[in-house]
Amino acid sequence: MQDVAPLQPLNQAELAISKPAAIPLKTIEDEQQVLLDMFSDEYDPTELQPGDMLSYLRPGVQHRVFNKLRRGEYRVAAELDLHGLNIRQARAYLAEFLVTVYPLQGECVRIIHGKGNRSNHRGPVLKTKVNHWLRQHDRVQAFHSARPVDGGTGAVYVLLKR
């Protein structure tokens, strides 16, 4: 220990370490609730507007087929008008309709959901639900908003599985 000498002070300034600003507990709770809502079955990240187009193509369906559907080139074999129904009625009618058109395999059908212009602050309720329901149905191969002459963004052409 004889060879040990005290250290010389270095010419350095001490840094003051600032504490991070406190986050209010209510803000943390609000953020946690938002995260929980994102995992809810009711959460829909796509907020549709009345004039928005609906479009869906199941993987494996040819783009040529989808383009014909989009242009309205398929003959519409059947039509369902959900305009003015509540959500429960619309779901039941749509489910029944897709079962009754089963013999029309491979056919194009038109579903009128309305644009949702009178839904006030809620946005187009039926349009959003139809978009969600059709994506879940295994017989639906593709759908796209109709041409203006066939209802425009208030209706969809739906191509059913062959």
Q: How far apart are CA 89 and CA 104, in angstroms?
A: 23
Domains of the chain, by residue range, sit at 55-160
Percent of the chain with pLDDT over 70: 68
Query: Among candidates 131, 152, 143, 157, which has minimal Cα distance to 56?
Result: 143
- From 120, 128, 125, select the one nearest 45 (Cα to Cα): 128
Query: Does residue 6 register a pLDDT over 70?
Result: yes
The CATH number of the structural domain formed by 55-160 is 3.30.1370.110
pLDDT of residue 33 exceeding 60, the answer is no
Residue with tokens 């609000």: 30
What's the pTM? 0.68
Q: Residue length, the chain?
A: 162
